[in-house]
Chain A
């Protein structure tokens, strides 16, 4: 076969099951909806058929089925296995975050197409996002709603006089940040559902399992034509100990293009 196989270590993780577990219903934030993902035989599907007549993936509707939801506990279990599996095979925190990011990326490419299809396919003239700010807004609301069942808590642009927290964060993320570099954008989630049941040991305190989410965001931005480096960081506050910041650092070509389009 001529196509690139995923790394054998990753092959256990069917990204379909991840992807499907990620498509959350808007109905409730604690239940994770299962899309009509091909590899999953939902018990609540059509009347029982013999395996030979299993309908092809092209026969299944792409629309969200309310009945096909999977519980948050099931997803939490799956994600914990993902983290454990990955952790056994890496040499450090950075490596672990990168692997989680890669897994999220695979989910993100699918979420982007599916989410847009669900929103736009019925409209007369389906549209894509071509400007960065609307794209960021749609990630904040639509993507978060599709994946986590509710919009993210805030979008921030770290400015020069940003609060200490953000600048400390920048120091860590970009040790050699140039003064001319434009400030990265940040998406903030006060209590990310995927890490709700994860308690990171003290000696790994830098680790943020939301790297997975960062991967999803990176894939979406990439797909829309805004290549960026996306990372996740813990930024706890007294009120929200699990507060997480997704840091988006756009490539220079994107910034140049945005500048040109402004005129």
Chain B
């Protein structure tokens, strides 16, 4: 089971991202019928993207038909993950105007992915893609990331658009991801 974290600046520039593989067991998987029916040319360079995206149609169908969860092999595809995270920004943008809570749980869903977000007062967005529900853990995780981010921000060499490259920051975020996700 994997988690994907993105830190986005107020102008939506990605400043940091992290992929975390949890040791917790993944949910039972079933292959989507569409994914298995992909034509042979899908072994091309775009195969992963295609497979992952094909999950979209099959997942919605599956939800209508049996309501079961559908997982497909291409779920780990990097581009698709980034696209899902970026797409969820629209929803987040809409919600932050109405909700004063910083932790927005499950703002968006795409295939097997649930998107949770955390918006700091300075309009930094932390976006997390996850598969299982884990509200309390994610909340604590976001709070720790927020503290680390505030510390980063107090550094005079950090501006709102500087990518965060500090190895200590990375290690700390990884540690709390391990602990809470």
Given contacts A16-B154, A57-B155, A126-B102, contact A117 B146 (CB under 8 A): yes
- A162 CB-CB contact with B under 8 Å: no
B155 to A, closest residue via Cβ: A38
A129 to B, closest residue via Cβ: B100
Indicate if the CB atoms of A127 and B163 lie closer than 8 Å. no
C-beta contact mask, A211-255 vs B, less than 8 Å → 1, else 0? Answer: 000000000000111000000000000000000000000000000
Q: State how many angstroms separate the Cβ of B149 from the closest Cβ of chain A.
A: 8
Indicate if the CB atoms of A109 and B168 lie closer than 8 Å. no
When the two chains form the complex, which single residue of A3, A19, A58, A60 contacts B162, counting CB atoms closer than 8 Å?
A3
Given contacts A113-B121, A224-B121, contact A19 B154 (CB under 8 A): yes
A127 to B, closest residue via Cβ: B100
When the two chains form the complex, which single residue of B99, B120, B152 contacts A130, counting CB atoms closer than 8 Å?
B99
C-beta contact mask, A114-126 vs B, less than 8 Å → 1, else 0? Answer: 1011001100011
- Cα A16 to Cα B155 in complex, Å, equals 6
- B81 CB-CB contact with A under 8 Å: no
Q: State how many angstroms separate the Cβ of A116 from the closest Cβ of chain B.
A: 4
Indicate if the CB atoms of B98 and A62 lie closer than 8 Å. no
Contacts of A16 in B (CB 8 A): 154-156
- Cα A130 to Cα B162 in complex, Å, equals 26
Contacts of A14 in B (CB 8 A): 156
Indicate if the CB atoms of B151 and A57 lie closer than 8 Å. yes
Indicate if the CB atoms of A116 and B154 lie closer than 8 Å. no
Indicate if the CB atoms of B156 and A15 lie closer than 8 Å. yes
Given contacts A3-B161, A57-B151, A58-B169, contact A121 B122 (CB under 8 A): no
Indicate if the CB atoms of A113 and B101 lie closer than 8 Å. no
- Most chain B beta carbons < 10 A, residue from A35, A112, A257: A112
- Cα A6 to Cα B157 in complex, Å, equals 9
- Cα A109 to Cα B149 in complex, Å, equals 13
Q: State how many angstroms separate the Cβ of B153 from the closest Cβ of chain A.
A: 6
- Cα A80 to Cα B59 in complex, Å, equals 64
Contacts of B160 in A (CB 8 A): 109
A126 to B, closest residue via Cβ: B102
Q: State how many angstroms separate the Cβ of B24 from the closest Cβ of chain A.
A: 25
- Most chain A beta carbons < 10 A, residue from B10, B123, B156, B159: B156
- A84 CB-CB contact with B under 8 Å: no
Contacts of B146 in A (CB 8 A): 117, 121, 126
Indicate if the CB atoms of B150 and A114 lie closer than 8 Å. yes
Residues of B149-181 contacting chain A, CB below 8 A = 149-156, 159-163, 166, 168-169, 172
Indicate if the CB atoms of B150 and A117 lie closer than 8 Å. yes
- A137 CB-CB contact with B under 8 Å: no
A5 to B, closest residue via Cβ: B159
Q: State how many angstroms separate the Cβ of A16 from the closest Cβ of chain B.
A: 4
When the two chains form the complex, which single residue of A39, A56, A62, A129 contacts B150, counting CB atoms closer than 8 Å?
A62
- A110 CB-CB contact with B under 8 Å: yes
Indicate if the CB atoms of B123 and A58 lie closer than 8 Å. no
Indicate if the CB atoms of A113 and B123 lie closer than 8 Å. no
- B103 CB-CB contact with A under 8 Å: yes
Indicate if the CB atoms of B103 and A126 lie closer than 8 Å. yes
Q: State how many angstroms separate the Cβ of A7 from the closest Cβ of chain B.
A: 12
- Cα A114 to Cα B101 in complex, Å, equals 17
Known pairs A35-B154, A57-B168. 7 more at Cβ < 8 A? Answer: A17-B156, A38-B151, A38-B156, A56-B168, A62-B150, A126-B146, A127-B102
| B interface residues with partner A (beta carbon < 8 Å) | 10, 96-103, 119-123, 143, 146-156, 159-163, 166, 168-169, 172
- A–B Cβ pairs within 8 angstroms, 27 of them: A3-B159, A16-B154, A19-B156, A35-B154, A36-B154, A38-B151, A38-B154, A39-B155, A57-B168, A58-B168, A58-B172, A62-B151, A110-B153, A113-B122, A113-B149, A114-B153, A116-B120, A120-B102, A129-B100, A130-B96, A130-B99, A223-B10, A223-B121, A225-B97, A225-B123, A257-B97, A261-B97
